[in-house]
Structures are given as C-alpha cells and as structure tokens.
C-alpha cells in the first residue's frame, strides 16, 4: 500500500509523547482507536511493510482502509488508557474489541453529608452531593489503595448508613482496630469527620508523607534482606502513586457523521440496483435497540439526497411489545410513523399522535383523521410513485429538505433480514402504502432483502449503493443506541435507593410505584412514606433522613471540587 503525501506530512508532525490515535476511513468514520507511549513510532508502524500484514487478515484490512488519522497527546500512560476507553465507547470503531461494553472505570466515592461518611467504589458519577475521585485506569490499584486508606485513617468499611451498637457486635473492622468505631462512641462524630477529611486530602494528592514513609520502609526491608516485604511495599507504593496521580478532564470529541464523496453517483447506483424509476431523494432508515427485552426503543433517520437530514430524525419508545421481539417492534414503529404521516398529509391529526416537525394543524382541533382523508393521502402517494409529473411548486420544494419535504419517503430501509422486512411490509399494506419501496439490510454479509421473498441481493462491500445503505443503517443504529443508553442512565440515576441499607427490590419497587421517581420521593413526608407497603414509622423516618442527607445544598459544589474526575 502506497502512503499518500497527506499521511506522510501528518506523520512528520506527530510527537513522540504518549497519547491516543484515531484511524479513519475515506468517509471520515473512526475505524480504530489505539494508545501509545510514543505516538510517532506507533502510528508509523501502520504504514511500514511488516510480516504481520501477510498473515493477519484483520490487520491488513484495517491498514488498507486507513485514509486519515488524528492524534490526542496526554501526560501519562494512565491518561491514555482512560481516553482510549472513552473514545472507543463514543465511536464504537469497527476494529476495536476491548472497551466496547458499557463498563466504566472505577471511582472512589464519599458523601460528606452522610451522618457517618464512608468510602465506597462506584462506576458512574451522579449529581448526588458526593465527592468523587478518579476514574482510575487500574481497578486493582484503586481497591488496594482504598484498603490502605481505611487502615491508615481508621475508617469504617461496613455497609449501614448509620451503624448502631448491634452492628458493632458483628463488625470485624472495629474488633481488628481498623475502624475507630464512632457507632459506639469510641470517638466523637467530629473526630471521625476529621479522619474522613484527612483521607479526602490524601486522595486529592496530599500523600507525600505516606509515600516517603513507604519508600523508607521498603529500603529498610531491602537492606535487611527481607526482599518479600520490600516487594510488597514497592507494589503498594506503585499503587499509591497510580491512584493519587492527577488526570486531565477530557473534553468530548465532537461527533461528525461521515459523508459521501459522490452522493449523486451512489443514488444512481442504488436506483439501478433496486430497479427504482429514479434515484430516491428521501431515504428513511429504522433500527431497534433493546437489552434483553428491556428499554425497547427504535429510531428513524432521514437522508435527503444522500446526506443526513437531522431535522426529521425521530425516536420512539416501544409501547405495545412484551419481551424481546424485534419484528413486533419494527411493526409498531412503522405503524406509528406512517399513520401519523398520512394524517399530516390529509391535514388532520389524531388526538393521540404527537405533532412532528413540519406537520400542519388539523382541520378540526383534536379531531381524528377520517378514512376518506387518509385514502386521499394514500391515492396521492400512489400517483406519485406511478410516475406522476411534479408541478412547478413541487419542483421548487424538492430542492431543499425539511418541513416542505417531510412527507413520505422514496425508499424505506429496515435494519434486519426477512423477519423485520416482512413485519414492516405487513404494516405498510394495512396503511395502503404498498407503492413505497422498502428493503432490509442484513449486517453479516450486507445482504439486501426485498419484498416477495427470493434470494437476497449481494452487491459487494465496495458497491456505491451498499456504502450509502451502510451509512443510513449505521446512523439509525447510532441514534437508537444513544437513546437506549440515555434511558438506561436515567434509570441508573434512580439507584440512589440502593445505597439505603435494608431496602430490597420489593420495597424499592413499591416506593417507585407510589411516588413515580426518586425526585418525587424526596418531597414526600414521613407519614406518606409510612403508607407504602413494607414501611413503618421507624423505617420511614430513617429513609427520610437518608434522603435529606443526600439533598443538602453544597453537595454539587463539593463534587465539582474533584479535579480528578472527568465527566463520564
């Protein structure tokens, strides 16, 4: 593979410092994210002859697809690991395997508003008034350092929010003299809070004294030929340095959707391959996203003349499908989308249909579209796809996307195979939209399925029509996954109740059923909480105190002081 002058010029400007590099294809899509201690040496290896390219088919395919690259310089290897993981989760490159799941790096969390604060590990930073440290590239180092802090500052590690004397009888931390046991009055709460604040300062980077002490003990053990003890102290010192090292806050890398080099040519090739009367101006793509049947959502993306028309994107929460059934989810999305669109074209809106961009108000406010109005809209669509010539005003409107052209598409793309395609065709037939072309695109071999059965169409990965369909499919996949992740994060934010000791799934479900959300629960009185099944006056009072401790003002400011914790 010959290296272009553009890449040679960029390679000459790459630094020898540690950092992260992003490989891109000719459409600007990030296809691989990697890290390196020496960016120039590592990136240059991709463009030099090597034996690996002969036997590693994946590596060879990656190198042949590289058209451009970007680099981000960081201060240390730990920062490069954190940034690499974040970029992989954001871009989900084709050739990356690690970090593609939703697992995040560990953080150390302490809520100073708790009656007796304790240090715990978390993976998600929320606005709960707590202070966070991290994230940490090495989870093992974070755990070992947290254990060191508990022993050094005599901190509690038990779970109860407010431990009592009964908890003390079963507390190994107190009996081993690791914890000063403020629960039984061994020290006052003020003294214990001083211990907590000292530990907070330690995590914030004021650990020079302890590091010097560990280093001195390590050298003394080595001098006494106790090499095992010296090795343990050496590892502990390394864990301490890794955990307390300050890391930078990484700004979000802006997402840019790759665009085609020849949109007109791709549209012409697509029309020829599918036998369409003319190149499709508007293509609408659909995709489904769920996790084991939960958080079922779907996305609609609209492309106008080969380019994304974001003003006409839509997101749907699946309402009528139980369990994991992608075909049923596709059917519901198609039915909701085009019933609504037909009502808009007829000039009447159903009372339950949300107003979309570019929709006109109904003739009768709140009145449902009559069958005659919907039939006239269907007839207009049929005439359009049977070759009716556009009027001059239609030609003028066709020159630009947006509300003026937010009508029925020229082609519908379903992400999936025969099952998803048949479900979409059945719903379109019920709506009388049999004239609208619809296809399915299966991921494994990029096979194009068409209504009526038969063998799928394989055009090859380099075919211009396939590249256009891939961009529509990938964009619908991105929108659906981001909506799914947004709902999951919203649900995770309600896991504040999980931190309250003594509350299980049944009680948590009863609370959420009674109040609807944690935010509404925070406004409830003790008497209202006590009315929930499974709660008495004592438990309701403890929960009310717990929520008040989490809602005290100043918590957000304290959390913001953690310069080590980038926003996840």
> Is CATH 3.20.20.70 what the domain over 5-91 is classified as, yes or no?
no
Query: What is the pLDDT confidence band of residue 426, given thresholds at 50, 70 and 90?
Result: very high
Average pLDDT of 23-35? 87
- Number of neighbouring beta carbons within 10 Å of residue 351: 9
What are the tens digits of pLDDT across the range 310-335? 889 999 999 888 888 899 999 999 99
Contacts for 152-155 with beta carbons within 8 Å, 24 or more apart?
Answer: 152/199, 152/202, 152/210, 153/195, 153/196, 153/198, 153/199, 153/202, 154/178, 154/179, 154/180, 154/195, 155/118, 155/119, 155/179, 155/195, 155/196, 155/199
Pick the more confident residue, 320 or 565.
320
Tell me: pLDDT of 481 over 70: yes
Query: What is the pLDDT confidence band of residue 379, given thresholds at 50, 70 and 90?
Result: low
Cβ atoms of 414 and 286 closer than 8 Å: yes
What are the tens digits of pLDDT across the range 110-138? 888 888 888 888 887 777 778 888 777 77
Cβ atoms of 430 and 335 closer than 8 Å: yes
Average pLDDT of the chain to the nearest whole number = 77
Residues 419 and 426: their CA atoms lie apart, in Å, by 11
Pick the more confident residue, 290 or 213.
290
Q: Mind giving me the DSSP string for 199-260?
A: HHHHHTT--HHHHHHHHHHHHHHHHTT-HHHHHHHHHHHHHHHHHHS--PPPPPPPP-----
Burial class (CB in 10 A: 0-12, 13-18, 19+), 86: buried
What are the tens digits of pLDDT across the range 210-242? 677 778 888 888 888 888 888 877 876 776 666
Average pLDDT of 379-408? 48
Quote the pLDDT of residue 557.
35
Pick the more confident residue, 200 or 395.
200
Quote the pLDDT of residue 281.
94
Cβ atoms of 431 and 378 closer than 8 Å: yes
Quote the pLDDT of residue 182.
80
The CATH fold assigned to 263-474 is: Nucleotidyltransferase; domain 5 (3.30.420)
Same fold, 106-205+500-560 and 263-474: no
Highest mean pLDDT among 226-235, 260-269, 414-423: 414-423
Quote the pLDDT of residue 489.
67
Quote the pLDDT of residue 558.
36
What are the tens digits of pLDDT across the range 362-378? 333 334 455 566 666 66
pTM summary value: 0.48
Average pLDDT of 480-503? 74
Residues 492 and 280: their CA atoms lie apart, in Å, by 42
Nearest to 399 by CA among 305, 277, 280: 305
Give the CA dihedral 555, 561, 563, 566, nearest 10 degrees.
Answer: 30
Quote the pLDDT of residue 564.
35
Q: Mind giving me the DSSP string for 343-380?
A: HHHHT---TTSPPPTTPPPPSSTTPPPPHHHHHHHHHH
Q: Any idea which of 51-65, 277-291, 542-556 has the lowest mean pLDDT?
A: 542-556
Burial class (CB in 10 A: 0-12, 13-18, 19+), 452: exposed
How many residues are listed for the chain in this entry?
568
> pLDDT above 70 covers what percent of the chain?
76
Cβ atoms of 38 and 18 closer than 8 Å: yes
Domain boundaries, the chain: 5-91, 106-205+500-560, 263-474
- Backbone φ and ψ for 23, nearest 5 degrees, come out as -90, 135
H, E, C per residue of 21-36: EEEECCCCCEEEEEEE
Average pLDDT of 174-186? 74
- Number of neighbouring beta carbons within 10 Å of residue 348: 21
Average pLDDT of 246-252? 52
Query: What is the pLDDT confidence band of residue 258, given thresholds at 50, 70 and 90?
Result: low
Pick the more confident residue, 257 or 435.
435
Tell me: pLDDT of 301 over 50: yes
Of the options 1.20.120.80, 1.10.150.20, 3.90.1200.10, 3.40.50.360, the CATH number for the domain spanning 106-205+500-560 = 1.10.150.20
């Amino acid at each position: 593979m010959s290296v272009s002058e553009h890449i040679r010029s960029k390679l000459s400007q790459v630094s020898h410092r540690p950092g992260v590099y992003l490989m891109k294809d000719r459409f600007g899509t990030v296809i691989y994210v990697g890290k390196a201690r020496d960016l120039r040496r590592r990136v240059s290896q991709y463009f030099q002859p090597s034996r690996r390219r002969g036997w590693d088919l994946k590596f060879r395919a990656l190198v042949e697809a590289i058209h451009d690259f970007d680099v981000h310089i960081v201060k240390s290897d730990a920062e490069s690991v954190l940034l690499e993981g974040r970029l992989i989760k954001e871009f989900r490159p084709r050739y990356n395997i690690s970090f593609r799941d939703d697992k995040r790096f560990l953080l150390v969390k302490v809520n100073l508003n708790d009656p007796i604060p304790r240090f715990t590990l978390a993976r998600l930073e929320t606005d709960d008034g707590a202070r966070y440290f991290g994230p940490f590239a090495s989870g093992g180092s974070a755990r070992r350092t947290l254990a060191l802090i508990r022993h050094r500052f005599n901190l509690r590690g038990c779970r109860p929010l407010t431990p009592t004397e009964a908890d003390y009888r079963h507390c190994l931390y107190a009996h081993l003299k690791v914890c000063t046991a403020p629960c039984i009055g061994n020290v006052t709460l003020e003294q214990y809070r001083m211990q907590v604040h000292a530990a907070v300062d330690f995590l914030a980077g004021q650990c020079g004294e302890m590091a010097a002490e560990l280093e001195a003990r390590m050298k003394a053990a080595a001098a006494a030929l106790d090499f095992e003890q010296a090795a343990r102290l050496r590892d502990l010192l390394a864990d301490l340095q890794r955990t307390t090292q300050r890391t930078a806050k990484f700004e979000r890398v802006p997402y840019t959707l790759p665009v085609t080099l020849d949109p007109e040519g791709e549209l012409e090739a697509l029309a020829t391959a599918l036998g369409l009367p003319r190149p499709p101006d508007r293509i609408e793509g659909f995709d489904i996203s769920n996790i084991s049947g939960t958080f079922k959502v779907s996305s609609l993306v609209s492309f106008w003349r080969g380019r994304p028309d974001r003003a006409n994107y839509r997101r749907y929460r699946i309402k009528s499908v139980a369990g994991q059934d992608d075909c049923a989810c596709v059917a519901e999305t198609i039915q909701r989308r085009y019933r609504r669109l037909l009502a808009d074209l007829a000039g009447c809106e159903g009372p339950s249909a949300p107003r979309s961009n570019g929709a006109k108000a109904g003739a009768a406010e709140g009145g449902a579209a009559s069958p005659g109005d919907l039939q006239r809209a269907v007839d207009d669509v049929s005439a359009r796809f049977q070759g009716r010539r556009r009027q001059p005003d239609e030609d003028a409107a066709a020159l630009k996307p947006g509300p003026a052209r937010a009508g029925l598409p020229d082609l519908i793309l379903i992400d999936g195979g025969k099952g998803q395609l048949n479900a979409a065709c059945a719903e379109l037939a019920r709506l009388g939209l049999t004239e609208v072309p619809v296809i399915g695109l299966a991921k494994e071999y990029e096979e194009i399925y068409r209504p009526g059965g038969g063998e799928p169409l394989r055009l090859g990965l380099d075919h211009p029509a396939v590249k256009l369909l891939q961009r529509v499919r990938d964009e619908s996949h991105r929108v659906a996954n981001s909506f799914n992740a947004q709902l999951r994060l919203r649900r995770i934010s309600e896991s504040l109740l999980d931190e309250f000791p003594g509350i299980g799934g049944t009680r948590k479900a009863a609370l959420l059923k009674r109040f609807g959300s944690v935010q509404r629960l925070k406004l409830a009185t003790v008497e209202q909480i006590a009315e929930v099944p499974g709660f008495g006056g004592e438990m309701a009072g403890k929960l009310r105190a717990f929520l008040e401790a989490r809602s005290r003002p100043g918590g957000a400011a304290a959390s913001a002081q953690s310069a080590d914790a980038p926003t996840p």
